[in-house]
Amino acid sequence: MTSIFSADGKNVPCTVLEAGPCVITQVKTVETDGYDAYQLAYGDKKEKSTTKAMLGHFKKAGTTPKRKLTELTFEQELGLGDTVTVDIFSEGEFVDVVGVSKGKGFQGVVKRHGFSGVGGQTHGQHNRLRAPGSLGASSWPSRVFKGMRMGGQTGNVRVKALNLEILKVFPEQNLLVVKGSVPGAKGSFVIVEK
Amino acid sequence: MDLVKFVAENTKVGVDLNPFKAGDTVAVHYKIKEGNKERIQVFQGVVLQRRGSGTTETFTVRKISNGIAVERIFPSSSPFIDKVEVLNRGLVRRARLFYLREAKGKAAKIKTKR
């Protein structure tokens, strides 16, 4: 993340994304696959670390081996081997950004669900400052309801950040500057949806 | 990180500031908008620190106003900064001069670099 100053002097937080160029490596249709989609490939990969099966797949599209593949739908018609660049975005538009959030490991309920903990250090609280408290009633229902919020793996899940404004587009460098933060660590892959 | 630098250079709106360091006495000419009118206010004091890089860089200026210490943090690339005059180069041994907040009398004086 960084920030840029707008013309009227406001300091706007933003994230710089390298968007494309992506190559269409497969066109899925209702006849062959049961649904319509385009497979997009991004990021270069060494030929020696690509399996022969995947090499053939990229050769069919007439492109070099790529690191990341994803399926998306497009309104306009595209063909095998076509490139999708940052040109499809314009400044002032709103986009959604999908990424995998930073993994936080096994976390308690205070961090994971925003519980406020016990709320005091005295009055008999010995070692339960961040404990969840009661999980439910007693003889009825005699069980813990499904979906009860407890500790567990936090982060490292697919997250979509909605309605981020595009502040700037640099077509030559394939750069996109969106307002605010996006899910994931620095240098991780994200999907930008219109 | 070079992508962030590229964006910083291509979205620049502020002026290039004179080089200054912690310990220098500076006068920051800051534009203030009042309705449609714009005027310039000068904030003069000692630079306590410069932190961050690129567009997110800020610097802290401390002055004594009527016996009360006032600290103000300016974003270095803010378009509201008209200019930064360097009045005095200070001789200091660290990059962050937070000890000045507690220092009194002679200890709060900064020697001039020659």
Contact of A175 with chain B, judged by CB distance below 8 Å, is answered with yes
| Any domain includes A142 | no
Q: Please indicate, yes or no, whether residues A122 and A111 belong to a single structural domain of this protein.
A: yes
Closest chain A residue to B9, measured at CA: A4
Which residues are CB-contacts of A166 (< 8 A; sequence separation ≥ 6)? A89, A90, A91, A92, A93, A94, A95, A176, A177, A178, A179
Q: What is the pLDDT along chain A (194 residues), one digit of tens a residue?
A: 888 888 788 899 999 999 878 899 888 889 999 998 999 999 888 988 999 999 998 888 888 899 889 998 888 888 888 888 888 888 999 999 999 999 999 999 999 999 998 888 888 888 888 999 899 999 999 999 999 999 999 999 999 999 999 998 988 888 899 999 999 999 899 999 88
**CATH number of the structural domain spanning residue A60:** 3.30.160.810
Beta bridge partners of A71: A39
Q: Please indicate, yes or no, whether residues A109 and A75 belong to a single structural domain of this protein.
A: no
**Which domain covers residue A47, as residue numbers?**
2-103+158-193
> From CA B88, how far away is CA B110, in angstroms rounded?
10
The phi and psi torsions of B5 (rounded to 5 degrees) equal -65, -40
- B14 vs A contacts (CB less than 8 Å): 5
State the total domains in chain A.
2
Q: Please indicate, yes or no, whether residues A29 and A97 belong to a single structural domain of this protein.
A: yes
Provide mean pLDDT across the span B2-30.
Answer: 87
Kindly report the nearest CA distance between residue A101 and chain B, in angstroms.
20
Q: Please indicate, yes or no, whether residues A15 and A36 belong to a single structural domain of this protein.
A: yes
Q: Please indicate, yes or no, whether residues A162 and A125 belong to a single structural domain of this protein.
A: no
Kindly report the nearest CA distance between residue B14 and chain A, in angstroms.
8
| Candidate from A5, A18, A175 with C-beta closest to B55 | A5
Q: Residue A115 has what pLDDT?
A: 93
Q: Please indicate, yes or no, whether residues A97 and A46 belong to a single structural domain of this protein.
A: yes
ipTM, 2 dp: 0.77
| Any domain includes A139 | no
Q: Residue B1 has what pLDDT?
A: 56
> From CA A71, how far away is CA A98, in angstroms rounded?
13
Closest chain A residue to B75, measured at CA: A11
- B77 vs A contacts (CB less than 8 Å): 5
Q: Residue A127 has what pLDDT?
A: 85
Give per-residue pLDDT as tens, A47-75. Answer: 889 999 999 988 888 888 998 899 988 88
